């Protein structure tokens, strides 16, 4: 099994999980062609996460009429309808899915794990997109090198992933990693290939799962979406692409927000989502000694844009796994954030719904 190597010191390589002999082994190491012979006309993400995937693609592919490769493609390439392209090529393993993929102009059946060489000429694509599939690559660095070869200088390689997988086909290092570590892994694949400018990263997490989703009764949260991307070295823009906005719930103007905050005393409504605030008893513990009040008012709406954006913001500011809710202090007539590690946190203190 090929391994990612080229770490600078022996110590570094000992610590790096990529260097373990079995890093790219799988529970089912039989031929991928056999596994993917079965048609899977399913959505691998919920509808909100899929719209985020499209949003990422349309934000980053800025070339005029680009030639795009969907690497490890299925029946849907998630290329937004309004993105004008001159060609979209799909490379994958399931003939029926690729034939029914309406976005593709042509497709190729090719097993990357058997042969990481990509069957395309040098510098023939403007962008290569790999969606929810990087976890199945057993020789990722060789594939990333090949993507570097077939991209034009300055061309984009965009790797998008989430936390769902076919565990039997995902490589061990992926299965054994936390979500944040997977971002680092993909970043390492880019770095070790030596073909790209510096990577950029994007994540979208903590958004409410669409109510009509088939897993809505099992989880309240939409599938997280992570993107790691970089340009092939040698382009004119030196890796600069537009930032991807995380525009969940349009942000209010400062003036309107201030007006709504000033009215909370009368309305007892969240200034961010207009939902009624809930009366919450301040617990008798040393962490709350800074507050003299017996109770506060908190917005417990899980779809409140303030709370939803908080997951992303805290993630970016390294307080991973936290968000915050809007809290109103009636004594001081002030709105402030109260940090929460989960949706359930603080809810046992609600005294008036
Ligand atoms: C989870 S599906 C994702 C499909 C598609 N990219 C999407 O976003 O819906 C994984 C895809 O990877 C492809 N794939 C898996 N192993 C592969 C391999 N060894 N070589 C080429 N493609 C592979 C399969 O054909 C399958 O379509």
What range does the domain containing 177 cover?
A: 10-231
Instruction: Assess whether 157 and 72 both reside in one domain.
Output: yes
Instruction: Assess whether 156 and 265 both reside in one domain.
Output: no
Please state the domain count of the chain: 2
pLDDT of residue 147: 98
pLDDT of residue 250: 63
Instruction: Assess whether 225 and 307 both reside in one domain.
Output: no
pLDDT of residue 2: 41
**Residue 95 covered by a domain:** yes
Q: How far is the CA of 54 from the centre of ligand 1 (A)?
A: 18
- Whole-model pTM: value is 0.79
**Residue 60 covered by a domain:** yes
Residues of the chain with pLDDT under 70: 1-15, 239, 247-251, 286-289, 353
Q: What does the pLDDT look like over 316-328, one tens digit per residue?
A: 777 777 899 999 9
Hey, CA dihedral for 269, 274, 276, 281, is it positive or negative? negative
Q: Which residues line ligand 1 (CB under 6 A)?
A: 32, 36, 44, 72-74, 76, 92-94, 111-113, 131-133, 136
Assign residue 154 the CATH number of its domain: 3.40.50.150
**Residue 248 covered by a domain:** no
pLDDT of residue 216: 77
pLDDT of residue 236: 82
Instruction: Assess whether 137 and 46 both reside in one domain.
Output: yes
User: Ligand 1: which of 35, 53, 75, 93 to mutate, judged by most atoms within 8 Å of the beta carbon?
Assistant: 93
Question: Would you say 276 and 269 are in contact if contact means Cβ atoms under 8 Å apart?
Answer: yes
**Residue 244 covered by a domain:** no
Rounded to an integer, what distance in angstroms lies between the CA atom of residue 265 and that of residue 314?
28
Q: Whose CA is nearest to atom 10 of ligand 1?
A: 133
Please identify, among 199, 231, 263, the residue that sits at the C-terminal boundary of a domain.
231
Instruction: Assess whether 33 and 69 both reside in one domain.
Output: yes
């Amino acid at each position: 099994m090929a391994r990612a190597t080229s770490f600078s010191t022996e110590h570094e390589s000992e610590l790096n999980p990529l260097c373990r002999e079995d890093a790219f082994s799988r529970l089912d190491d039989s031929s991928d062609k056999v596994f993917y012979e079965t048609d899977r006309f399913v959505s691998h993400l919920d509808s909100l996460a899929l719209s985020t995937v499209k949003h990422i693609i349309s934000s980053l592919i800025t070339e005029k009429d680009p030639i795009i490769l969907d690497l490890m493609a299925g029946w849907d390439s998630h290329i937004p309808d309004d993105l004008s392209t001159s060609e979209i090529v799909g490379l994958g393993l399931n003939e029926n899915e690729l034939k029914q993929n309406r976005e593709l102009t042509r497709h190729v059946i090719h097993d990357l794990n058997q042969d990481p060489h990509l069957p395309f000429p040098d510098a023939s694509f403007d962008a290569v997109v790999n969606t929810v599939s990087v976890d199945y690559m057993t020789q990722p660095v060789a594939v990333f090198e090949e993507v570097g070869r077939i991209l034009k200088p300055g061309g984009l390689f965009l790797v998008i992933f989430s936390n769902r997988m076919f565990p039997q086909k995902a490589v061990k290092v992926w299965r054994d990693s936390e979500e944040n570590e997977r971002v680092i892994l993909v970043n390492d694949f880019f770095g070790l290939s030596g073909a790209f400018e510096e990577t950029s990263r994007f994540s979208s997490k903590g958004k409410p799962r669409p109510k009509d989703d088939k897993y809505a009764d099992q989880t309240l949260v939409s599938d997280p979406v992570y993107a790691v991307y970089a340009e092939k070295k040698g382009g004119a823009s030196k890796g600069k692409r537009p930032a991807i906005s995380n525009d969940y719930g349009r942000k209010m103007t400062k003036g309107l927000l201030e007006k709504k905050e000033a009215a909370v005393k009368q309305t007892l409504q969240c200034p961010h989502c207009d939902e009624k605030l809930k009366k919450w008893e301040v617990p008798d513990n040393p962490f709350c000694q800074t507050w003299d009040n017996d109770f506060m008012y908190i917005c417990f709406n899980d779809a409140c844009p303030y709370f939803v954006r908080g997951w992303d913001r805290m993630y970016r500011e390294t307080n991973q796994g936290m968000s915050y809710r809007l809290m109103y202090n009636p004594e001081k007539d002030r709105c402030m954030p109260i940090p929460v590690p989960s949706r359930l946190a603080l809810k046992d203190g609600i005294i008036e719904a």
